[in-house]
A and B are shown apart, each in its own frame.
Chain A
């Protein structure tokens, strides 16, 4: 179980001609980082970045490539040295729990931290999402006790679509502190993100809904989010690409269960 207070997704472009990608991103500076993961797509689907229509690379292409995270903290300590991301340790949009759980809880020196990688085949840029879990304030007291649940269904009508959560949720969750969101669909995988603003400064910026379908020991919980529904979105960002498949496949209904 991971209790998430803040989350952001950063698209990373890995150029085959290079071997090192510095993590010089303003989004990573002055944040107490719990964990970083690389997220890849899977074959037969297309998922876009949350921010544009650029596709995330699928694991069929990534099969023989290795990425190593090197995280130096602001005191110059090698906090993570060569954490391997490969087929064994990518997060996948399908929500499979194929990743190592860890917590580092440090401020990153963004000028010294980087991902080392080796792309041996092809000339295409690999685009992966860097998923960042971080903390910017004290955690609220946590309990996994369920005080109530409300379920909603969303049916996107386009492959690239933003839906304001206020239009879905209405006033049913007004004033509730959300501790878990479970995403499900009849047709896996989930090709969407949730972009959540809160009143208390917590921020869940484009978390892949696939991660919210992970159950069991690796499930994701939240630090009691007081969501500002007027500023929060469900973002559909992809399509199934099975040959001969009909519109129903990618216009499938997504069920979101909010637990408070």
Chain B
């Protein structure tokens, strides 16, 4: 089955302190319907957006999620690698009580002060749009020259009020405008935050998850509209190889 439509993605850093790993207080996800959860291991993401080293052993981690309101354990000790098998994400579709949910670690490695990094894919009504189903789309390119650690997108007339269905990180050598591009070995330390009407509906999301053209199961966005001037890419480092241009291709709904 394909992934569900989502309109929010939240990158959560969970610091390991002991065998029972508790979730941080996360107001952004309060009362949100979680569609999918994905774990990123240290190969995909060596450091979180706060520069914390990501745990290496996720195979010995087990997730327990408690349903908000009922205190029912909707997921009991699920081995976390099952959350994402080549982009094929489990459909959770629940509102989660994060204060009562946790991850247990049964391995022997010292993971203290490292971080588990989870992505929560959810419904964010502030960003989503109704999508008609007759498959009329346009494709636009979105270039951003990284100038510093945190680079905001400029105003973009082409994307104004446009409903985005998919985002793809492309990795060319040279952009259409002739700029030198960030190469594949420098994308796993960059995070994107996208906003709509002062709501961050994508927060601290590694841009590498959008390098998905070879993926059978792609991230499907529910017509999200971006306010670009409140949206940015954050790079953990700012070497000459980091401060180059990023290119996305966006598939945009064009049903009238």
Using Cβ atoms and an 8 Å threshold, which residues of chain A touch B249?
82-84, 100
How far, in whole Å, are A207 and B172 apart by their CA atoms in the complex? Answer: 27
How far, in whole Å, are A77 and B158 apart by their CA atoms in the complex? Answer: 12
Q: With an 8 A cutoff between CB atoms, is B109 at the interface? A: no
Q: What's the minimum C-beta distance from A73 to chain B, rounded to whole angstroms?
A: 9
Interface size on A, residues (CB 8 A): 33
Using Cβ atoms and an 8 Å threshold, which residues of chain A touch B217?
217
Interface size on B, residues (CB 8 A): 29
Interface mask (B93-125 → A, CB under 8 Å = 1, otherwise 0): 000000000000000000000000000000000
Q: What's the minimum C-beta distance from B64 to chain A, rounded to whole angstroms?
A: 30
Stretch in B135-143, B189-197, B198-206 with 4+ CB within 8 Å of A: B135-143
Using Cβ atoms and an 8 Å threshold, which residues of chain A touch B139?
79-81, 83, 102, 104
Given contacts A82-B176, A88-B211, A88-B214, 20 further A-B contacts (CB under 8 A): A65-B173, A68-B141, A68-B176, A78-B138, A79-B138, A80-B138, A81-B141, A82-B140, A84-B176, A86-B170, A88-B170, A88-B171, A88-B213, A97-B214, A97-B216, A102-B251, A103-B135, A103-B137, A116-B176, A218-B216
A-B contact pairs, 17 of them (CB 8 A): A66-B174, A77-B138, A79-B254, A80-B139, A82-B140, A83-B249, A84-B176, A84-B249, A87-B171, A98-B214, A99-B213, A101-B218, A104-B137, A106-B136, A116-B176, A217-B2, A218-B216
Using Cβ atoms and an 8 Å threshold, which residues of chain B touch A82?
140-141, 176, 249
Q: With an 8 A cutoff between CB atoms, is B128 at the interface? A: no
How far, in whole Å, are A157 and B254 apart by their CA atoms in the complex? Answer: 49
Interface mask (A186-219 → B, CB under 8 Å = 1, otherwise 0): 0000000000000000000000000000001110
How far, in whole Å, are A104 and B138 apart by their CA atoms in the complex? Answer: 6
Q: What's the minimum C-beta distance from B253 to chain A, rounded to whole angstroms?
A: 11
Q: With an 8 A cutoff between CB atoms, is B247 at the interface? A: yes
Q: With an 8 A cutoff between CB atoms, is A89 at the interface? A: yes
Q: Is the CB of A81 within 8 A of B213?
A: no
Q: Which residues of A contact B (CB under 8 A)?
A: 64-66, 68, 77-84, 86-89, 96-106, 116, 118, 120, 216-218
Set A80, A87, A88, A105: member contacting B136, Cβ < 8 A: A105
Q: What's the minimum C-beta distance from A65 to chain B, rounded to whole angstroms?
A: 7
Using Cβ atoms and an 8 Å threshold, which residues of chain B touch A88?
168, 170-171, 211, 213-214
